[in-house]
């Protein structure tokens, strides 16, 4: 897959945030479609940036990401799938 960011983005103790996020997304499921994978990677990069800003300077970003990033992205994916399913039910025409 081509990179989302034009050059590697380092944040605290993570040397390449995009690669870290891609690995995390790959661990969620090997069956994620490429468009959804790219959306999850972009969402993950944004989450890493937000988490890094919220942490105290001495805290390890990698430790926090190890605990939370995979679960956060899995929940985001699940909620997105639910929204698409609910929208399809609402938008589907009813048979007469």
* pLDDT recorded at residue 35: 93
* pLDDT recorded at residue 66: 97
pTM of the model: 0.81
* pLDDT recorded at residue 80: 83
- The DSSP string of the chain is ---SSSS---BTTBS-HHHHHHHHHHHH-TT--HHHHHHHHHHHHHHHHHHHHHS-TTS-HHHHHHHHHHHHHHHHHHHHHHHHHHHHHHHSPPP-
Q: What is the mean pLDDT of each run of 10 residues along the chain (96 residues)?
A: 86 97 94 94 97 96 97 93 57 52
* pLDDT recorded at residue 5: 86
Residue 28's closest CA among 78, 80, 70? 70
What are the distances in angstroms from CA 16 to CA 10, 19, 31, 47, 77?
A: 5, 6, 24, 14, 23
* pLDDT recorded at residue 2: 77
């Amino acid at each position: 897959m081509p990179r989302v960011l034009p050059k590697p983005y380092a944040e605290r103790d993570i040397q390449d945030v995009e690669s870290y996020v891609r690995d995390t997304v790959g661990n969620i499921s090997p069956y994620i479609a490429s468009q959804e994978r790219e959306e999850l990677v972009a969402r993950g990069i944004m989450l890493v940036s937000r988490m890094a800003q919220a942490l105290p300077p001495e805290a390890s970003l990698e430790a926090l990401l190890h605990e939370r990033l995979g679960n956060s992205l899995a929940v985001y994916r699940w909620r997105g799938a639910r929204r698409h399913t609910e929208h399809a039910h609402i938008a589907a025409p009813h048979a007469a």
